[in-house]
Amino acid sequence: MDLFGNTINSNTNLLPYGGTVKYYGKLFSQIEANQYFDVLWNTINWKNDEAFIMGKHLITKRKVAWYGDREYSYTYSKASKTALPWTPELLAIKKIAEEKTGTTFNSCLLNLYHNGDEGMAYHSDDEKALAKNATIASISFGAERKFLLKHKQTKETIGILLANGSLLVMADETQTNWLHRLPTTKKVSQPRINLTFRTMNDTSYQTH
Q: What is the phi/psi pair of residue 118, to 5°?
A: -105, 140
Using CB under 6 A as the binding rule, whether residue 147 contacts ligand AKG is answered as: yes
CA end-to-end span of the chain: 50
Using CB under 6 A as the binding rule, whether residue 196 contacts ligand AKG is answered as: yes
Tell me the site size for ligand AKG, rule CB under 6 A: 11
Binding to ligand AKG (CB under 6 A) within 71-130 occurs at: 109, 111, 120, 125
Give me the numbers of helices (H) and strands (E) for the chain, helices first please: 3, 14
Q: Which does 109 bind (CB under 5 to 8 A by kind): ligand AKG, Fe ion, none?
A: ligand AKG
Using CB under 6 A as the binding rule, whether residue 138 contacts ligand AKG is answered as: yes
Q: Burial of 145 by CB count in 10 Å (0-12 exposed, 13-18 middle, 19+ buried)? A: buried
Using CB under 5 A as the binding rule, whether residue 125 contacts Fe ion is answered as: yes
Sheet with 145-151: list strands edge to edge. 120-123, 178-182, 145-151, 157-162
Shortest separation between residue 112's beta carbon and Fe ion, angstroms: 15
Task: Identify residue 54 by its one-letter amino acid code.
Answer: M
Quick count: other Cβ atoms within 10 Å of Cβ 3? 7
Tell me the site size for Fe ion, rule CB under 5 A: 1
Q: Which does 194 bind (CB under 5 to 8 A by kind): Fe ion, ligand AKG, none?
A: ligand AKG
Using CB under 5 A as the binding rule, whether residue 127 contacts Fe ion is answered as: no
Quick count: other Cβ atoms within 10 Å of Cβ 176? 13
Candidate ranges 28-36, 86-94, 118-126, 185-193; the one touching Fe ion (CB under 5 A): 118-126
Binding site for ligand AKG (CB under 6 A): 109, 111, 120, 125, 138, 147, 162, 180, 182, 194, 196
The site for Fe ion (CB under 5 A) is made up of 125
